Every structure is written in C-alpha cells, then in structure tokens.
Structure 1
C-alpha cells in the first residue's frame, strides 16, 4: 500500500509571511454539514480500493474505490439521523447545532489515516503560521468499522487528545490506554466476546473445534483471546486457518480442504464479513454441509448472507450479536434519501445506482430516472429490523453530544470561554453517563469500553428459503459469573435443520470407572479411556485421574464407587468351618465313648494299669482340646481372642502333663521291679497328680502374665489382601504367645524322650511305645504348624491352627487309647492280670 504523503513547499522569503502549499489533492468529505460544533466520521462506503503501481514519475491519481457497501452507507445515515434528532432536541445542547464531516476509508488503512489527518487539520490548500495553533476541524471522530483501520486512526489522533469513538472496532488491543489514550467504543471488546464464545462452545459440550479467522487485527487478536479462554475451558483446536479478502483463490481452496479433512464438526468463524464472503463462495461450490458454524458479531447478523440462498448451509449457525434496538423514525429517514438533495454529490448517485441496480449514465433500459422509491425496496439498507450495529453509531453520536452538553454547561457556570472546548472533550467523555431513548444506560469504563451485552443468535430457515435470526439466549458481563451465559437450548435449530445437538469431540467421553490418558503428540482433548486399577475409582465422566479408596473400602466391579471391603474370618456357616466343627465334635464324641467304655471297665486290669486316674484326666483334657478348637471359629471378639489362646495353651499342657505322668509311671514301674528298689513310693498316685497340677499351673501363670501385660485383641488386617479385610486375633505380646507354645513344646519333647527310652521295656503291654507314637505325631504336627501358620493367608491361618489342635488331639487319643479299647472290646481274654504282668521278649520299635 502506497501511503499518501503530505509535502509542504516553502514559498516566499525575507520578511514576508511564510505560506505552506499542499502538494497533491486534498482529502474532502463525501457528506458534510458545517454547524456550530462539528463531528468527524469515517466509514467504509466501498469495500476495497484498487491498488495501483505508482511509477513515481508523475503525480499519483486519486485512489479508485469499488464495491459500494450499503451497510456502511446506512451507518452514515444513522449518524446524520442522530445529529438531526439532537439538533431538534431543546433539552440536549440547547442553542448549539451539530455538524458533520463524513469520509470514505474504502476499508483501507492508508485512506483511514489520510481521512483522520484531514479531520484534524482541515483540507485547505494553503496553510499559514497560525494554522497549527487553531483547534482541530472536528471535536471527535466516529469510526472506523474495522479494527485494523481504527488502530491506525487511534494511533494517529491519540497524541493530539482527539477522541475516537468506534461503533464496530472490537479488537481487545484497543483497550490499552497506554497506546490508545483517546479511544472509546460503544460496542463491547472482543475480550468479552471471545470468552463468551468459549463458554458457549463449552456449554454445548464441543471440545474439538476448527477455526477460521481474518488475517487482521480483528481476527488475530480475537482468536488469541478465544484460544486463551478455550484452554481454561478444556477446549481443543484442531486447526486455525487465516484468510483475507485479497488472498488468491488458492488460499481459499486450501482453507476449504482443511475444513473438509478435519474431524471437528464445529467451526468457529472469527472473521470480518468482507473476508468471509469469498470463503463462503468457495464452500458453496464444494457443497460442504454438516458443519455447525459458530460466528462472531461481524457476520452473524448479516442480512446479505442470510438472504443469499447459496449460503443456506449456514442454517443452524449460532453466535453472539450486539443487542438489537428499535429507532423510531429511522426507516422514514432512510427512505427519504435522494440524489436530488445534493445533485453534485457523486456518493448519493452511486448509492442510488447500487440500490436499484441502474445507472444515471444510461438513458435507455437499465437507466436510473430518479423516480424510483426506496420505500418499495427491501434490502440491507431499508431493513430496520436489525439495527444492532447502526444503534452503536447512534449511541456514539449521543455520547459526544452529552459530553459537549456537560462541557458547555460547566463552561457557562464557570464563565469560561468556548475556546477551551476542544481541550475538555477527552476529559469529559470518559465520565459521561446517560440513558438513550431505547432504555439502555451508556457509560465507559477505565479502558473506554461499555458493558458487554450480547444476544445469542441462531440462524433458522423461513418459507422463502432465506434465513432469519432468532434470539435463543444472551450474555451479560455485568451479571454474576455463573449467570453470564443464558441459553434456551430447546429453541435452537442446529446444522442441517436438525433438532439434535451436534457432537464435536476428538475422543468420546470416558465413563465413570475410567480415566483419560492423553494420546502422545496430540491435544489434551484426544485421549484413551483407561480402566481404573483395583482399589481405585472415578465417579465422574471424563475424569483425569482415578482416586484410591480408603483403607476400609474397595472399588466395585464398575470402578465407580467405593464399597466396604469384605471382612473375612473363619465362620461357622462356611464349609471349612462346618467341617472343622464336625471333626471337633467327632473328637469329643470319641473321647466320651472311650471315657464311658473305660468307666464301664474301670475294674479291669487294662484300665487300672498305669494309673486309671491319669487316664480319665487325660481323656478329660483331650475333650477340652477338641472343644477349644471351636473358640477359633467365628468372628473374633476381645473375649474370644483371649479365650482361644489361653484355653489352647492350658488344655494342651494339661494333656501333655498327663501323658508325661503316665510315661514317668512306666519308667518308675520298671525300676520298682528291680531288687531293693523303693522308687514307687516317691512317685505314687498323689505325686503324679501333683506333678500334673504343678506343670499346668506354670502354664496358667504364663497365660495370666500374658493377659495382664499385653492380651490378644481382634485386629483388622488390611495389608495382606488389598481387596478384603482379614479379621483376626492379634496375639498382643509375641513373647507371651511363643512362651505358651514354647512351654507346651518343651513338655512335649521331654515326654517324647522319656517315652522313647521306655519303649523297649519288657512287658506284655508296654504303654510307653504307644506314648512314643502319639508324641511323635504330636511333635511332627506342631513342628509343621509353625511354618504353615506363618505363611498361611487370612482365615487359613486359623484353619491351620485348628487342624494342628485336632490332629494332635486325635493322635493322642488313637495312639494311647485305641490299643486298650481293642483289648477291651475284641480281646477280652487278654484283659487279665496274668496277661498284664506276663513278660515277653523285647521287640524293636
């Protein structure tokens, strides 16, 4: 772009006044009315300027602008409408009339800056020394419609404290007071729109979107703000394409191919209307459908797009638009515009030719007669149902008028002269606050921005094939954060005229019981659903992590809830518990039968031999041994834990003491048969009973000390199994537990050694050999019990201990008493004193 450069030629010399003459053609307003106080305005009456290559050998010709823009002309007429309304208002600026100077920027940054300089300096061909000291030609500028030209304009006039109020420049960058100190706007900043769009996309559950933007300050800054907000909302962007209206066709084709190949079903178009139209033409040629479009305020209420049937694929589009307004008398004012009002004004003629598709230069068919009626025309210019942006032009004019009114009021009260007006406009406009006739309260924040209020617009088809704008919600930044966005989703019509909400995600939602695992090298929205591990849950959709259950809880099968762990103990109701109970009762029954048999034959030699009292006491202790195994079955309690270990220790020591007594009796009986031996008198029945009591009392003392110092207690073992709790008895003091077992084992080994020594004594019925077998079984059982007890998991630990008790008890019962029962029942002829006292040759064990 070749910028227009002002050159000043110094003419005259000596003492004559210095006069500067403008080289080149002055920039003149296309619409103007000189009054007491003038307002400047810059609109893009034309969509583009023809670019020319300048040879720099001759004076450049004026820039030619093409493609008349009815919407921008409507904005200019809205400004004139507002000014005339103010001039007719006796309450606002009484006695002061407003004028205007309106320029055409042709959507060009260079022409915008040129127009801004003309509005500041005027457009006289010659300038004198006093030209730079006079006030600017206007006291405020309304415009421009696009962000990039407005940035250039605000940068230019900012150092001169000339306010610029834009009705359509939404770039958030313009809120920077350090760079643009004199900029204001009546339309919300894209800072709010970008966040509103991010919240909208998140509200509908779209986490995978494509983006198309204008390659301009508007598009670049808007998308940057959206990306930041989208990241906070957990939204991922598949692609981001940038286009500009002057791009070659290949660039638009490339963008269309990206959209076609993309997997995102939602496309956000943060794009200026002029940049969007060339892309839509290419899309319509490629018949791309099924895309849910989300639009920015630049095009979402464009009547031109909505009425073009080739763009029907935009049906269902949603986006935020400036709140609509109704301006009374606006249509009448618009349709009264006529080229005859200013016959020499070429802009009005061009407007007329564009509106009626005719030409004043053609006198035949297709020529303009001037008798055409705008009131009979339905187009973007005459339509007053959508005055969203035009209302912002209207508001900007009123903001300047109220500012001037406040300044003049203060000047009048302080007797200041009107020459101070221009220096006060910027100061006063920042604090202006008023309500326009639409009921909206207008004021600016510290950044020069108004309150952000948007309508949520949905494009819905009508019978004539065009599309209409239906409000389905709103966004208001002045409300609490959780109420910013309000959507009536039941009234929304989606892409393809469907009532079904489109789905646009990279990966389907992870159900409860799973967690998200991001796919390597892809955005965070692309993930795999990994089931939670054992003992972990996720009770929400799209959980990023699984959480472990508390120690007493475990995950259910679906891994979405923690449930109480199964408490495991050896129960009477399970098969293992019932089997052990049956064997215990069988042992009690057999012991009772043997006791009853012995009682019936208590006078026989086989029973009386080797101290029948010890035999009955042994049978009684064996009964207790069988019964004590039952204390190990069932849910452990404080009392059952103390009872099971002490009962086991005392009953077994009682049992072993009886066996030991019988073994000593056998040895003493043999010694007593030797000549001159009087040993039996030292180990008679009384001494035998005392020895049993003494040995048992020692175990009882150990148990009392154990229970006093650190007794066993019920304990929930959470460490052995992760998925269930083992309810067991903790021995409390390990020393006490092993002391009880150690004392029992010591007596068992002593008994075994003595019985082994007495196994070959000559006797027809030598009980020592049977005691040896029984103690061999007893010791073997308890020696294998120790490693099995330590290594058995959970309730099997208790089962092993019960098995050891039952096995050793059955071993003692069968080995010691089955031979005697055999003689009593099957060999009664051997149950005589003669047979008992008979000698036999020794036999090997």
Structure 2
C-alpha cells in the first residue's frame, strides 16, 4: 500500500522527472481542514500540480477555484449524503439518529445529510459526535449505548472513511447485536470470527461503498505479492497475514511461510473488504495513463514516434494534462466506460450492501442496491428488496421508524407544539374532506357533487334526494290525496243526485258545486309537489295551489255573504232581495279569484320559481328543490289566502246565531278556524324544516286545510242526506 504514495513518473525533456500525484491517505489518519489538506496534497507531489485521489471524498476538494487541478476516481460526499437520503425515503424511515466522528470534513458532510433528511420529511432524533481512538472513554460509550437503546430510530454511523481499523468500527460492530434497530454506515467493516462465537449479531445494517469490481488477476496478485512497509501499520500487518488462514476463501488465501503463521492473530480478516480502494486506484492509474496518451497523441500527430518534441510537451504537463483529464473518456481494463464530471470526479456511484450473518456462523456482504447520481432521474436509485435479509424480530418488513405511527388514510397530521415535525398526532378528516394517502398534512375537500365516505379516504357521489313517489313519505301523501279526492268526488255526486232536496239547495247549491270541485283540485295539486322538480312543475306548484285555494276560500266567502244577505232579505221592505241570485255569488268568486290570479302572474313575470340543486343544505346529499324565486311574492299569495279566510271567519262568526234555517254559518266558522290554525302553524314549521320535508309540510298543510273544510261544511249535510233522510225537508230544516 505504501507504494501507492509514489507519483507516476515520466521522463522530461531536460532529464528531470515529471510527476502526476496519486493522492493516498494513510490508514488510521483522519482528514484535516482545508489548508492542512491542501498542504498535504502539495507535499505528496511537490513538483506537479495535477492531483488524482482514489480515496478522498472530501467536499472541500470540489472547490474548483482553490483546487483547480484536483481529480478523484470516487464520488464526493455530496452524492453519498444524497444516496443515504434516498434509502431513507424509499423505506419511509423518518426518525433518524446520527453518530459521526468529530473531524471537520465529517461534520460538514453530516450537516448536508441532515438537510437531505429534513427535505424528505424526516427528523433527526439525536446527533452525537464520537472522538477518535484513545480519546474515546468508557463513559462516552455508555452514553451512546443508552442513546441507541432508548431511541427507536434508524442509526447512521457517519464514521471517518480513511481510517482502516479505527476504534469507532469496533463500537459499530457491537451495536449490531441490538434487536429492533437498523444501522447505516459508510465504510465496510470486518467482523472477527472469534467475536461471532459469543455474540448474537443481527441482520440489520446497510453500508454505502463506492462502486467497485474485482480487477483481472488482482486476487492472484494479492496471493503472491510480498509487500513492504506493512510492518509500520499494525492492523494492516494483521490483515495481510490473516489471509494465510485456512478458513479464507481459496481465491484470496495466501501461501504463507511457516514463520508467518504466528502473526495470524485475528484470522477473520480474510474477506476482501479492504480491497475497496483498489478498484479506485486501478481507475486512477487508467485515467492518468489515458490522459497522458491523449495529450501525447494530440502533440505528435499519429503518436507513432517518440521524439524530443514529445518530451518537450511534457514540460508543460500541469496545465496541458488538466485539459485532457477534464474531458477524459476512456475504457478501463474491464471494458467499462469512464469519464470525469464537471467537478473532476469520476462519474460513478455507490453500491448498497447488506451485512448478512449466516446460520453457520459466517457472514457476507450482499449487494442489494445501487445509487448513481449520473444516471437519469428515476433510474439513479435501485433497491432489490428480495435480496435483503431482515432481522427475524421485526414484526414488519421493511420495518418502520417514526416518532409516531403513520397516519392512515382518512386522517391528517397535527404537529405537536414544540416538537420536531415528525412528531405529530393523527386526527380524522372533517366531513366532506378526505385523505387517500398516509401521512397527509392536510385533508382534501371533496367536489361539490361528492362527499367523503365513512372512512374519509375517498369521495363518493352525493345521494340525490327529493320527495319522490317511490319513497314511503311520498306514497303516504299521494295516497291520502287520492283518497280524499275520491271522497270529495263522491260527495259532489251525492249533492248532484240530491240537488232538489232542501239541504242541498240551502245557501246556493252552485257555490257548493264550485267549492267541492275546487277542493278536488286542491287534493290533486298535492301531486305537483311530489316528484323530480322540473321547471314546469316548479312554476305550477305555488300558482296552482294559490289559485285553487283562492277559489275555495272565495266560494266560502260567497256562502257566508249569502247567509247574511238571505237573513237581511227576509226583513220587510229589504232591498237585498235583488242580491240573492247566484250571479252575485259567482261574481264574488270570480272577482276574489281574479286578484289571486293577478298576483300569481306578477310573480311569474318578475321572479318565477325555478328548480335548484342545493349541495350544501344536507350532509352528503344533493337536494333538488324548487326555489320560490321571489319570497315576497310567495308570502303575498299566502297572505291573500289568509285574508280571504280571515274575512270569511269573521263574517261567519258574526252570523253563527242567525235563524236555524241558515245555520251553515257555524260550520263555516269551524272550517275557517281549522284552516287558519293549519296555516298559522304551517309558517314556523315550514321555515324550520329543510329539503324534502319542507315540501312534505306544505303538502300536509294543503291536505289538512282541505280536509278541514270538507269535513266541517259537507260532512253534517251528507250525514242528513244519507243517514237521516227524514230530516231533509223544509219543515225539519227549520227546526235544526
């Protein structure tokens, strides 16, 4: 490994060697701040300005102003943070804890990682920094243990990547025994086989490592090379001679000498974990070689002859090579297409590894995903969930880590005051609102023609409602209307059949016919109020009702006036005899009805009733109703009916004690009393009801008042006609 610190040497034209630095960061040493790192890089290749790193992911080195000639063959930490963020977002992990070493580079990278997590809706449950090596105390370890145990989070160990065997990795290895946790780290670690014998390791960790492949004949090189300089690095020396262990895979097992076997202390270091940088070194050397080749070829024409002019070109290597590295496209020894991005980084990505502990006591890394920021959006992040081995204690796979459980559809999030945005309560959506996804911040209001279902997770069409003939209420009201229509028709037939009898002829039989026919129309007009409101029946509803009732009340008024007139006409010398004919009665009916007709026509020409779709009156329903158009006109029509009823009631009440032969006035008094009672109670009831029940109230008022008139005025007469015919004579009539 120490040999990688050397620069690539090419012969210069003046006998000196030109150098292109392959920057190597020694194991066990943390990265320094900007100025120290720059000094270190310059010291690695004092006579050159172009530096190619195969291990540094430091964000500072992407500053093209300060480091215009810096290149690397691995992604920088910005992409690493984005990859971790995408992994968290993919699995829906919102509650995250972070551990990091306290060097400046890692702290800055973690700050970017935190921003990435928060942009995806996650929260940082805790953030702990870990000191390096011998400064790490037992008390600090206990604090970290307690933090992990008490927090149900995804734990990210953003540890320094350039220390080959730091104490922090030992700490991380010990955390893998924690059940119900998930851990994410950025370097690969090596697990001691002896440690596995007394530990219960869990399948709960992921690693992000730069994309790599095994180079041709590289494993043969590992087996056969005799390294120099490893004695100065204790851990590297142990790992190298650990490859002599018989339990190592054959493709990397070294044939060691007998005196080297004593150095096998931790025989578990026989995995290829620490070959990770070799692929980057491989690409770094290829990059430099191809850049030099392109530069030489461009300077010598066909590049077939090495001349003094070629070597003179190399005197200007720093700035010339920079241009070729910046625009470099090449194929490495594996046939892979490579190029540098705008930051001078090799356009490559990361493998996502799952650390799997097998039942036989061994372990392995399984590639379960990739993140390559240089591929098109939507293809940059892939995960093979089937390849992931989850810990058996997880009740749900993939497990969920949140401050609070997810808000299922039908609920929305209500942030808790003073806590992170990931900590919230779930409250149900209001009526008419839905949430059809988990963890929605707000509920969506349904369109006007739709309403939320019971679970509040979908909008469903509102129920269209109106008073129909098919529903029980409509059937009852229409049945009552028909029954009393036929009863009225029967009474009319009786009166026509017994038209010459005294009781029918009393008080003008023609008015009785008109009154009965108008009552029949009143019963029939109830049908206009039932059924789907249309423009025609909305117009006919109130006008038909107003006109027919005005005829009814006008007839009653005419009857009442006839009673009074007839009494006065019997007095000697009275001039009212000429007003006793049926022509006068008909004139009263026509004139009073004509006023109502004029009111209705004015209503229709100014603001007629119209069908109206009411979507907000009742919850979850669309009410189709008739709007009166002009409320003033509606109450004018009702008011006029009340006026006619009131006049009839007053006159009949005053005439109730007239001679017995004209005692129909007391029946009219009762009928008008019923009529006024019904319609006085109708107004507050009508105003307090909604929808189809408002229509039902009006129909009930029409039927009740009509029945009241029919019963009070005609039932006593029908009783005498049908059951007491002996009383239907002039002699008996005068005794009543």
TM-score (norm 2): 0.85
Which of 570, 594, 613 pairs up with 1:697? 594
Deviation at 1:337, TM superposition (A): 4.4
The residue number in structure 2 matching 1:289 is 178
CA distance in 1, matches of 2:483, 2:219: 109
1:295-444 equivalence runs, <5 A:
295-297=184-186, 299-300=187-188, 302-303=189-190, 309=196, 313=201, 315-338=203-226, 355-356=240-241, 387-409=275-297, 416=312, 418-422=314-318, 424-444=320-340
Cα distance, 1:335–1:534 mapped onto 2, change above 3 Å: closer
For the residue of structure 1 that corresponds to 2:464, the secondary structure is strand
Rounded to whole Å, the distance in 1 between the matches of 2:122 and 2:260 is 51
Match of 2:364 in 1: 468
Superposition pairs of residues 419-568 of structure 1, within 5 angstroms: 419-422=315-318, 424-462=320-358, 465-495=361-391, 500-568=397-465
Alignment size in residue pairs:
702
2:233 and 2:94 map into 1 onto residues whose CA distance is 49
Match of 2:253 in 1: none
| 8 A Cα contact 2:20 2:51, kept in partner | no
Aligned CA distance change for structure 1 residues 231 and 292 (closer, same or farther; 3 Å): same
Task: State how 1:767-806 maps to structure 2 within 5 Å.
Answer: 767-806=664-703
Equivalent residue for 1:278, pick from 156, 159, 167: 167
Partners in 2 of 1:770 and 1:687 — Cα distance?
22
Distance 1:795 1:521, change over 3 A: same
1:585 aligns with 2:482: yes
- Answering whether residue 38 of structure 2 is matched by residue 154 of structure 1, we say yes
Classify 1:282/1:184 alpha carbon distance in 2 versus 1 (closer, same or farther; 3 Å).
closer
The separation in 2 between residues aligned to 1:408 and 1:482, in whole angstroms, is 40
The partner residue of 1:193 within 68, 74, 80 is: 80
Distance 1:204 1:354, change over 3 A: closer
Deviation at 1:307, TM superposition (A): 8.5
Residue 493 of structure 2, aligned match among 596, 600, 605: 596
Q: Which residue number in structure 2 is paired with residue 740 of structure 1?
A: 637
Contact 1:139 1:425 in 2 (8 A): no
Closer, same or farther in 2 for the Cα pair 1:280/1:476, shift >3 Å? closer
Larger Rg belongs to: 1
Out of 148, 155, 167, the position equivalent to 1:267 is: 155
Judge conservation of contact 2:469–2:475 (CA < 8 Å) in 1. yes
Structure 1 match to 2:106:
219
Q: Classify 1:281/1:327 alpha carbon distance in 2 versus 1 (closer, same or farther; 3 Å).
A: closer
DSSP-derived class of the 1:148 partner: coil
TM-score (norm 1): 0.75
Q: CA deviation at 1:648?
A: 0.8
Given the alignment, which residue of 101, 124, 127 partners 1:240? 127
* Cα deviation code 1:520-579 (max 9, x no counterpart): 332222222211111111111222211121222211111111122223322333333333
Change (3 A) 1:474 1:828: same
Structure 1: gaps of 5 or more residues: 1-72, 88-92, 99-133, 358-368, 841-845
Give the match for residue 751 of structure 1: 648
Q: 1:351, 1:699 → 2: CA distance? A: 111
Distance, in Å, in 2 between the alignment partners of 1:522 and 1:142 is: 45
Cα shift at 1:238: 1.5
Alignment of 1:171 onto 2:58:
yes
Contact 2:525 2:545 in 1 (8 A): yes
Between 795-804 and 191-200, report the one with greater CA deviation. Answer: 795-804
Deviation at 1:444, TM superposition (A): 2.6
Q: Give the superposed CA RMSD.
A: 3.7
Are the counterparts in 1 of residues 507 and 662 from structure 2 also a CA contact under 8 Å? no
Closer, same or farther in 2 for the Cα pair 1:259/1:612, shift >3 Å? same
Aligned with residue 143 of structure 1, among 21, 24, 41: 24
Unpaired stretches in structure 2, ≥5 consecutive residues = 243-255, 302-308
Instruction: State the Cα deviation string for residues 769-791 of structure 1 (Å, max 9, x = none).
Output: 22122222222322222222222
Asked whether the 8 Å contact 1:245–1:276 carries over to 2, the reply is no
Answer whether contact 1:312 1:467 (CA < 8 A) is retained: no
Asked if the contact 1:213–1:223 (Cα under 8 Å) also holds between the matched residues in 2, the reply is yes
Q: What is the SS of the residue equivalent to 1:634?
A: coil
Q: In 2, distance between residues paired with 1:249 and 1:742?
A: 95
Deviation string, structure 1 residues 602-635 (Cα, Å, up to 9, x no partner): 2211111111111122111111112212322223
On the 8 A contact 2:70/2:344 being kept in 1, the answer is yes
Aligned to 2:577: 680
> Secondary structure of the equivalent of 2:402?
coil
Instruction: Verify the 8 A CA contact 1:209 1:236 in the aligned structure 2.
Output: yes
Deviations 1:160-185 (A, max 9, x none): 97233221111223212233333221
Residue 347 of structure 1, CA deviation: 5.3
- 1:811-830 equivalence runs, <5 A: 811-830=708-727
